[in-house]
Chains A and B, each alone.
Chain A
C-alpha cells in the first residue's frame, strides 16, 4: 500500500476531455450495433461531457447524482436496447461513467500513487493497467463466449433475440442432454477416458526414468538423447502422425496376425502408444526442472544408510520430485485428452476420442453440443491447472522457497 497522497480537485479542462473519450469509446460500440459508429462516438462523448458538467457544477451532490445517472442509463438501455440485458449494461455503464467522472474531478486517482509522480507517470500507471486488462480480455473472451452459447435453445451457434433478452425460453440444457445421452458422444468420451489415463501412466513412468537417467552426469551423449526424446514436441504433429500411421499399421498387423490379439484391443494399444510418445517430452521437461533443485547428497546419505538404489528412489527421491512428476503427468494427460491429429491417423472408428468427435461434429454439423462439451472440458482443465498450481506452491513451501 502506497502512502496516502493528499488529493485535490482537478480542473474541468482535465476532466471533460477524458470523460468525453470514455463516453465516446462506449458510444462507439452502441453506435456500431445500431448502424453508425461515428454518430455513436459523438453522442456518447457529448452525453458524458454534459452530464459531468451538470453533476459537478449544478447538482453538486455526488450520492444523488450517482443514482440519477445509474437510473438514467438503465432506462436508456431498456428503451433503446430493448431488453433486460441492455438495461443491465446501461446500469453498469451509468455507474461506471459517474464513478469515473468523480474519480477524475476529485483527484482520487492520485490517492494511491506516490506523491512525487509526474502527470505523465500517473497516466502511464493507469494506461499500463488498462493495456494488461485488455490483453486479458482478448485472451479470455473466446473461451467465455462459448459458455452462454452452449445453453442455446437452437441448433446454431447464434445468440438468438430470446437469449439477448435473457428470456428463459431462449436457453436450454438440451445440448448437455445430447452429450450425456447420445451414443456417439458417450462412446468417444469413454474412449478418451480409457486412452488418456493409460497413455499418461506410460509417459509418466518412462519420462520420469528418462529424466532421472539423463540428469546423471556420466551418461554418454545425454544431450543428443534428450533432443531425440523431446522431438515429438518440436516436429510438426502432422508429420509425426503420418509416420506413426504407417509404423503402427505394421505393428498392428503383426499383433493381430502373429499374436492373435483382438482387433479392438490392438486399436487401443496403437493409439495409447502414440499418445504416450507425445506425452513423454512434457514429463521429461518438468521432471528435469524439478531435479535441478534436488539435493544429490540425500541419495548418497541413503546409500550410506544401506538403502539400495530402488529403495532410495521410492523413499527419498520420488517424494521430493513428486510435484514435478504430477505436473508432467497432467500435461501428458491434457495432451492426449486434447489430441486430434494423431488419433485421426492412427485410430480407427472404434477408438474415436472426444476431440475427434468434436472435430467431425464441427465440420459436418456445427452442432452446439460441441459447445457444451467445450464448456465441460474447460471446467476440467481449470480443475487440473488449479491442481498443478497447488502442487507447485506445496513444493515451494516444502523446499522453503517461499514463506508461510
Chain B
C-alpha cells in the first residue's frame, strides 16, 4: 500500500505541468567569463525573481547546436552568449529572434535610449551587445631579455625574440597582423587582402615564423603555454591574460599594440514558446542595464558595451585594483588598435579559411 502511495505521489509530481518557467538555460563560454556573468547577472537576478539559472558552457558550438535544435524542433536554450559574427549568421538564417532594442532594453539612467547608449555596437537586429574584448598578445617577462616587445611586429621578429609563439588557428587577425608587419598601411589592409596577391603576401609573412608557431583553438591554451614557458609570446583574449597576470601572478606582460577589438553579446534563439521568450526578454532587460554591465567589469577585464557604464567601472571585487586601466578600451591601451571588419570577413571567411588550412598543412 505504502509503495503504491509513493508511486502515485511520484507520478503526480512528474505529470504536474511546469506552470511557470522557473528555470532559464543560459549558454555561455565557461571559465572566468561565465563566473563573471554568474556573479554580476545570474545571482542578482535569481535573488530578485527566484528564477533558477542553469549554465550551459556551449557557446563555442552555439551555431551548430542551434541549427540542430531548430531542425529537431527542440530548442532547450533560452538566452545564448555569442560573438558578434555568430549573431549575424544566426540572425541571417532566422535562427535568432529579431529585437527592437529600445522597446526591450532599459534606457540609460540619464534617459538616453538603449540604441543610442549601445551606439553602433548593435551590429545586428538580433544582437544585444554585452562586452568589448580584444585579442592581443602576452609575453613572458623573464624570457624576452632586456627589451620588452612593444609592437605587434615583434611577434614576427625571430632574431630579437627567439622561441615559440602561439597564434589562434584561424586566418582572422593573423592575416591582418602579417600584412601590417609586412609594411601595408593599416587603412589598406582589407583592400590588400581582397586580392589573391595580398593573401599570398600575408601567408608568406606568416611563413617566416610558421615553424615556431603553436596554434591554439581554446582561449585557455595561451595562458597555459605562457605559464609553462613553452612559448615566449602568444595571442589570446585580453581577459585571460589579465587573469593570468593579476590573479595568478604569472610573469607575463601585456602587449596591447594592434589589439583586435571584437564584441560579445546575447541572442534569443528563435522558436521559443511565448512564455519562455518573455522570460528570456525579462532576463535580458535586467542583465544588460547600465549598472549590471558595469558590475561585470569587477570580475573580468572586458569593457562594458554601454557608453553609460564606462564611468561606473570600479575596482576588482577581490584584488581591489582599479579595473579601468586593464580595459581594452582604456586610452592608454587603445593607442593603436586593429578594427576587425565583420562584413569583409562575412564575405570572405569561407574562401580564406580554405586557403589558410591548405597553407597550414603544407
Interface residues of A (CB under 8 A from B): 154-158, 184, 245-246, 249-250, 252-253, 259-263, 265, 267, 348-350, 352, 360-361, 363-367
Residues of B within 8 A of A366 (CB): 218, 220-221, 223-224
Interface residue tally on B, bucketed by range: 35 or more
Q: A232 → chain B, closest Cβ, in Å? A: 20
Of A245, A246, A263, A360, which contacts B18 at CB under 8 A? Answer: A263
Q: B185 at the A/B interface (Cβ < 8 Å)?
A: no
Binds A, one of B53-61, B114-122, B260-268, B339-347: B53-61
Q: B31 at the A/B interface (Cβ < 8 Å)?
A: yes
Q: Which residue of A lies closest to B29 (CB)?
A: A364
Residues of B within 8 A of A184 (CB): 55
Tell me which residues from 287 to 340 in chain B have a Cβ below 8 Å from any Cβ of chain A. none
A259 to B55, CA, bound (A): 27
Q: Which residue of A lies closest to B13 (CB)?
A: A262
Residues of B within 8 A of A155 (CB): 248
Also in contact, A246 and B72, with CB within 8 A (given A259-B15, A365-B30, A365-B32) = yes
Residues of A within 8 A of B60 (CB): 363-364
A263 to B15, CA, bound (A): 10
Q: B14 at the A/B interface (Cβ < 8 Å)?
A: yes
A212 to B55, CA, bound (A): 44
Say whether B17 contacts A349, CB under 8 Å: no
Q: A335 → chain B, closest Cβ, in Å? A: 23
Given A360-B30, A361-B30, A364-B220, 10 more A-B residue pairs with CB atoms under 8 Å apart are A154-B248, A156-B223, A158-B224, A184-B55, A249-B74, A262-B15, A263-B18, A348-B76, A349-B25, A367-B31
Also in contact, A262 and B14, with CB within 8 A (given A249-B74, A253-B73) = yes
Residues of A within 8 A of B1 (CB): none
Also in contact, A365 and B220, with CB within 8 A (given A158-B227, A184-B55, A250-B72) = yes
A252 to B60, CA, bound (A): 25
Of A158, A360, A364, which contacts B228 at CB under 8 A? Answer: A158
Of A253, A260, A364, which contacts B15 at CB under 8 A? Answer: A260
Residues of B within 8 A of A253 (CB): 73-74
Tell me which residues from 174 to 233 in chain B have a Cβ below 8 Å from any Cβ of chain A. 218-221, 223-224, 227-228
A384 to B14, CA, bound (A): 33
Residues of B within 8 A of A262 (CB): 13-18
A184 to B248, CA, bound (A): 22
Residues of A within 8 A of B224 (CB): 156-158, 366
8 smallest CB-CB distances across A and B, nearest first, come from A349-B56, A364-B30, A249-B72, A348-B76, A249-B74, A365-B31, A360-B57, A156-B227
Residues of B within 8 A of A260 (CB): 15, 17
Residues of A within 8 A of B220 (CB): 363-366
A246 to B227, CA, bound (A): 42
Q: Which residue of B lies closest to A357 (CB)?
A: B57
Say whether A364 contacts B74, CB under 8 Å: no
Residues of B within 8 A of A363 (CB): 30, 60, 218, 220
Question: Can you report 28 residue pairs joining A to B where beta carbons are below 8 Å apart?
Answer: A156-B223, A156-B224, A157-B228, A158-B224, A245-B68, A249-B72, A259-B15, A260-B17, A261-B14, A262-B14, A262-B15, A262-B16, A262-B17, A348-B25, A348-B77, A349-B27, A349-B58, A360-B58, A363-B30, A363-B60, A363-B218, A363-B220, A364-B30, A364-B218, A364-B219, A365-B30, A365-B32, A366-B223
Residues of B within 8 A of A261 (CB): 14-15
Q: A33 → chain B, closest Cβ, in Å? A: 14
Q: Which residue of B lies closest to A350 (CB)?
A: B54
Also in contact, A249 and B56, with CB within 8 A (given A158-B227, A265-B14, A364-B219) = no
Per-position binary interface string of chain B over residues 218-256, scored 1 when its CB falls under 8 Å from any chain A CB and 0 otherwise: 111101100110000000000000000000101000000
Residues of A within 8 A of B56 (CB): 348-349, 352
A352 to B68, CA, bound (A): 18
A90 to B1, CA, bound (A): 71
Q: B307 → chain A, closest Cβ, in Å? A: 30
Q: A140 → chain B, closest Cβ, in Å? A: 23
Residues of B within 8 A of A352 (CB): 56
Residues of B within 8 A of A259 (CB): 15
Of A249, A252, A267, A364, which contacts B31 at CB under 8 A? Answer: A364
Q: Which residue of B lies closest to A360 (CB)?
A: B57
Tell me which residues from 48 to 87 in chain B have a Cβ below 8 Å from any Cβ of chain A. 54-58, 60, 68-69, 71-74, 76-77
A263 to B30, CA, bound (A): 24
Residues of A within 8 A of B57 (CB): 360, 364
Q: Which residue of B lies closest to A262 (CB)?
A: B14
A348 to B248, CA, bound (A): 33
Residues of B within 8 A of A348 (CB): 25, 56, 76-77
Say whether B74 contacts A350, CB under 8 Å: no
Residues of A within 8 A of B228 (CB): 156-158
Tell me which residues from 1 to 44 in chain B have a Cβ below 8 Å from any Cβ of chain A. 13-18, 23, 25, 27, 29-32
Q: B201 → chain A, closest Cβ, in Å? A: 33
A102 to B57, CA, bound (A): 60
Q: Which residue of A lies closest to B221 (CB)?
A: A366
Residues of A within 8 A of B32 (CB): 365
Residues of B within 8 A of A364 (CB): 29-31, 57, 60, 218-220
Q: Which residue of B lies closest to A187 (CB)?
A: B54
A184 to B53, CA, bound (A): 12
A265 to B10, CA, bound (A): 11
Residues of A within 8 A of B14 (CB): 261-262, 265
Residues of B within 8 A of A158 (CB): 224, 227-228
Residues of B within 8 A of A265 (CB): 14
Q: Which residue of B lies closest to A242 (CB)?
A: B68
A150 to B56, CA, bound (A): 25
Residues of A within 8 A of B248 (CB): 154-156
A249 to B68, CA, bound (A): 10
Q: Among A157, A260, A265, A363, which residue has the most Cβ atoms of chain B within 10 A?
A: A363
Q: B235 → chain A, closest Cβ, in Å? A: 16
Q: B133 → chain A, closest Cβ, in Å? A: 15
Q: Which residue of B lies closest to A345 (CB)?
A: B68
A267 to B71, CA, bound (A): 18
Q: Among B25, B56, B228, which residue has the most Cβ atoms of chain A within 10 A?
A: B56
A158 to B29, CA, bound (A): 24
Q: B76 → chain A, closest Cβ, in Å? A: 4
